[in-house]
Structure formats: structure tokens, C-alpha cells
Amino acid sequence: MRNILKSIVQFYLRLFTRIALWRHRPFVIAVAGSTNKTPTKEYILKFLREKYGEHEVRGNPRSYNTEIGLPLAILYLESGESSPWKWLKILVSAKWKAFFERKFPKKLVLELGVDRKGDMKYLLGIVTPQIAVITNIEGNYSDADNNLEQIFEEFKVLVGSIPTDGTVVLNHDDERVALLQQEAKAKVITYGFSEKADAKITDLKTGIEGQNFEFSFRGQNEKVEIKKYGRHFVYAWAIAKIIKSIL
């Protein structure tokens, strides 16, 4: 019974989400990777909201990024968890939003979560990103090489789906991610500590109040201070800065 309910909810959420996206046609930025999706999404949201306004940009609440979570994120609805009655109310709300809602953000920043073959194809049947970001491919899923290779194949699908007038943003410090350049029809921008990266992070230092580093992109050099610890936040900041610069 639970599987039947899930199938019904999944079908109608996908349908209503596609209708809403067709009506409003927002610009979609997809963030994928084994880890660091949420900090990256949050930095992108912060930078784009500063540039375009709070109500013009929307992202996944929490980490809604799967076959049911992604439609909930786009329509900005809560999960019904295990309650059939809550899911019924959610489907009614989703239908109303799909056909009648007038206010809709012009840009969506969406995490895409995949962990098995076919996940990415399904998610791309819901949204059509113009920008794709790949953070990394590592042992969040499994340390087994064959499983990481499967995730790599899923990300190939995302990178290959970005149109020629779109952009793919890749982590040059991750060997697997860097290889995804070969799959892109769109323009590719790489970032990282590598000398070969298009957007370079250098001179990283950790202090009492956070991290300091230098960021170079398109001939512009910037000294940056963030009040967070961990290299993954540095990467997230760099990605957001790239996207803000190209939009």
C-alpha cells in the first residue's frame, strides 16, 4: 500500500512540477556531487539574492533533492512524511500552484541527489538546467570504485544535458570531475587550487575568525575572508562567485 501511495504521489508531483516550470520558465542552476551540495547551494543563493533580490531566487529547502524531494523543492511544499492525508493536501496545493500561482522565482538553485543508475535521467525529466555544478565524486556513496564509477556515469548525463549556450562548472582538483569536461557541449569553467583551473584559489590560511584566501577569475584578483572553517566552504564560495560573475 505504501509503495502504491508513493507511486501516485511521485507521478502527480512530477506532472504538476513540469506544468509549473513550463508556465514560468525559470533559469535553473543544478548542483550535484557526492558532498558539499548544500553549502554550495546556500552560497549561490546568498550571492544571487544579493544581486537579484530575495524573492527572485529559490533553492531546495533542507536537502529536498530526490524524485519526490525535487518537486517539493520547486513548488516550495513540505513533505507529507508518512501521512496519506498530508500527501493528499500537498497534491491539492501542488495542483493549485501548477495552474494558478502567479508569483514564481526567476531563478532556481537546485540540488540533484543521485545514488543509483537512472536517477539523473529521471530528475532531468523534471528540470532542464542551464548551469550545472559538480562539486566532487568521492566516498560519500561508497569507497568501492565501481560504485563511484556509477555515480560518475550519472554526472556524465547531467553534464551532457547542458545546452551549448549554458555553462558547466567543474572542480578541477577532483580527477573524476575534471574528466567530465569531455562530456560537455556547453562552456566549461573549472575551479580549484590547481594551476590549470580557470578560477584559482590560492594562499589559503586559517585564522581565529575563519579562513582567508585569494581568488582569481577572468583577470580579477580578490582577497577573501569567510567566517567558516573547512576547504569545502572555500570551494562553495568560489563556485557562487563564478556563477554570480557569469549571470
Residue 2: which pLDDT band, with cuts at 50, 70 and 90? confident
SS3 15: helix
Taking only the tens place, the pLDDT of each residue in 211-233 is 999 999 999 999 999 999 999 99
Would you list the domain boundaries of the chain? 26-61+106-246
Report the distance separating Cα 214 and Cα 234, nearest Å: 10
Please say if the pLDDT value at position 144 is more than 60: no
Q: Which set of grid coordinates corresponds to residue 243?
A: 556563477
Class of domain 26-61+106-246: alpha beta
pLDDT at residue 141, rounded to an integer:
44
81: left (phi over 0), alpha (psi -120 to 50) or beta: left
Least Cα distance to 109 among 124, 129, 126 occurs for 129
- Which pTM does this prediction carry? 0.92
- Segment 51-61, tens digit of pLDDT: 999 999 999 88
pLDDT on residue 145 = 56
Mean pLDDT of 160-185: 96
pLDDT digits (tens, 9 = 90+) for 91-134: 999 999 999 999 999 999 999 998 888 999 999 999 999 999 99
